[in-house]
Amino acid sequence: MTDSRFSHLFAPLQVGPVEVRNRIVSSGHDTVMAVDGVPSDQMLAYQDARARGGVGLIVVQVAGVHPSARYTSHVLMADDDSCIPAFTRLAETVHAHGARIFQQLFHDGRELMESEDGTLPVALAPSAVPNERFHVMPRAMPTEQVREMVRCYADAADRIRRSGYDGVEVVASHGYLPAQFLNPRTNLRDDEYGGSLENRVRFLRETLVGVREAVGPDLAVGLRISVGEESGEGLTRDESVEAVALLRDLVDYVSVVAGTSATLSGSDHIVPPMTRANGYTAALARRVKDVVDVPVMVAGRINQPQDAELILARGDADATVMTRALICDPDMPAKADDGRLDEIRACIGCNQACIGHFHAGYPISCIQRPETGRELEFGTRIPVRASRHVVVVGGGPGGLKAAAVAAERGHRVTLVEAERRLGGQVLLAQEVPGRAEFGGAITNLAGEAERAGVKILLGAPADAALLEELAPDAVVVATGALPRVPDLELMDDPTVLTAWDVLRGADLPRGRAVVADWRCDWIGLGTSIALAQRGHRVTLGVTGYHAGQRIQQYVRDDMIAEAVRLGVVIVPLVRIVGADGDSAYFQHVLTDEPVIVDDVASLVLAQGHHPVDGLLRGLEARTDLEVHGVGDCLAPRTVEEAVLEGLRVGSAL
């Protein structure tokens, strides 16, 4: 029986001719799991997990309708009949679990990210207006080519129909080709496809008419659109709503998002980081509901079923897009339906392994749930043949994951943590301004371990006596790392602290604080923001080309924007070499020339970490004990690697 708290979320939804079993949607998102333009076995396993977990509707990632729509090297393509067998397999996989499946139909226009061979193809657009983010100057499409593209959308839709899908979704969101036609600042045409609103809508209208005719009466036809591209040259909210009003009779639903791919600031809304409020786009969906009579779906940081239910109960939308929530926990719908809310692994909006992997060209995953994207390898817990006693040393993310997986498989597991709290460095990460949600990673991982039956000992440093008492058959060492403090030339007793000190609340002298950042991740940038918010003048020196170079773009953009607003001075391409009572001394990483920052009251080091590996090295010397290391004690990296290694070790024990 459905939990009464979610009466709206688990009510069926009629979308044109298609009934969807609940209001939870996995929207189109590139998984980087396409091979030769069609779904791979990896993609089938990925979507199988979400369909089995109870999602109502899966909208499959964009499929190009024309050869020029290959905006990445790993995009799905629906421009040729050869795609039909693989698309059919995916549809059958999703249908086997009672979920519905729609397919996004797509052309990027000028939003060209990469190419197949490293050379730049000709990007197509309504007009020759450049793209700021990818620095692409497109070719204005001749009128006959515009008409050809309309036919390509219809042909692709017909292939989807023949593949056994339940619907198609025309992507006019995020500044892609249909949106470029709608936008009077990117559509400068003087033929029937440009000028007035009616003319600028013509391409999308003809596309929807052609798609509708191609799929017939049994498939749903939807439209995805950004209600405000949140960028100076982008579609405004009013323009988007006006366009939807003119097209409402041609669609069975509208899927509402925000932002555009064309600019850095606009693209941050594509996968908004944790600094954005949960469900912040709901008001945009409400504007669309006021002008249409079909279901409206909304996406925008809806990570928990409670938030989704509230949006639906208010009438802001008819369905909630919860894509990252399903990446983080594909069983979230089933758990919510059963009232097992404490078991839901909540997405924390870090963007590291989902959109971060996509931007780097790797199959997507989740730092909290590395099984995502690796379903073929880790989709099923294999029970152990003989239960053993496993001791895990360290209660950070890697240790917790190793303990949980080993216990789920049937081992007797004891986790020992020297501190009085679980969490390791995550306890510091959550202290960075705007990143409090990051602490949820430990809440989720600790919950996994506790439900699996792991015995947890806090305030218990793992020394030889404790290990002798516990008498383990195997030990997993996850003792983490400590701040690295390099050898510096110091004179006149300067105030020198680490980023850890700052995040733990250490007081600094009044005046300018200089943060020296070696890794160019969130630590140096976040520490600078924290100091600026406390009233310090801050200079951030980074060894890379820019601050936050190693973190996902949307997260970095938000953090750099906040640093700029707070007046943080960012100096790129410098390494710290020394300090005295009122100066910090850097060296340019390309020229070795000195770079001096004067009027300095304190120096804060964000210089990476040293592994705490003494226990690991000592145990590895023993021949009578199975020993594994995970996470930073092997080599300092991030939460993602620690949790993945915990999964691998827990699965191998």
pLDDT of residue 179: 98
Model confidence at 464, in pLDDT bands (50, 70, 90)?
confident
How many Å separate Cα 485 from the centre of its chain?
32
What is the mean predicted confidence (pLDDT) over 360-374? 97
Is the pLDDT at 118 greater than 70? The verdict is yes
State how far the alpha carbon of 387 is from the alpha carbons of 354, 384, 449, 450, 452, in Å: 34, 6, 17, 18, 14
Question: Which CATH architecture does the domain made up of 4-376 adopt?
Answer: Alpha-Beta Barrel (3.20)
Treating both helix axes as pointing N-terminal to C-terminal, what angle do 282-289 and 305-314 enclose, rounded to 10 degrees?
30
pLDDT of residue 4: 80
- Cα torsion 28, 32, 36, 40: sign: negative
Residue type for 65, please?
V
Q: 242: which 2 tokens?
A: 């006006």
Q: Which of 176, 193, 253, 585 is catalytic?
A: 176
Cα(187)–Cα(201) distance, rounded to whole angstroms?
11
Class of domain 489-607 (CATH, top level)? alpha beta
Fold for the domain defined by 381-482+612-652 = Rossmann fold (3.40.50)
Q: 6: which 2 tokens?
A: 């979610």
Is the pLDDT at 3 greater than 80? The verdict is no
pLDDT of residue 56: 98
3-state secondary structure of 169: strand
Long-range contacts of 458-464 (CB under 8 A, 24+ apart): 458/395, 458/417, 458/419, 458/420, 458/421, 458/422, 459/417, 459/418, 459/419, 459/420, 460/416, 460/417, 460/418, 461/416, 461/418, 462/391, 462/393, 462/416, 462/418, 462/615
State how far the alpha carbon of 455 is from the alpha carbons of 419, 470, 531, in Å: 15, 12, 39
Give 620-649 pLDDT, tens digit per residue.
Answer: 988 899 999 999 999 999 999 999 999 999
Model confidence at 1, in pLDDT bands (50, 70, 90)?
low
Catalytic residue at 176? yes
Give 248-268 pLDDT, tens digit per residue.
Answer: 999 999 999 999 999 999 999
Residue type for 122, please?
V
Residue 407 sits at φ, ψ, to 5 deg, of: -70, -40
Give 565-604 pLDDT, tens digit per residue.
Answer: 999 999 999 999 999 999 999 999 999 999 999 999 999 9
Residue type for 425, please?
Q
Is the pLDDT at 116 greater than 90? The verdict is no
pLDDT of residue 418: 97
Model confidence at 151, in pLDDT bands (50, 70, 90)?
very high
| Domain boundary assignment for the chain | 4-376, 381-482+612-652, 489-607
pLDDT of residue 114: 84
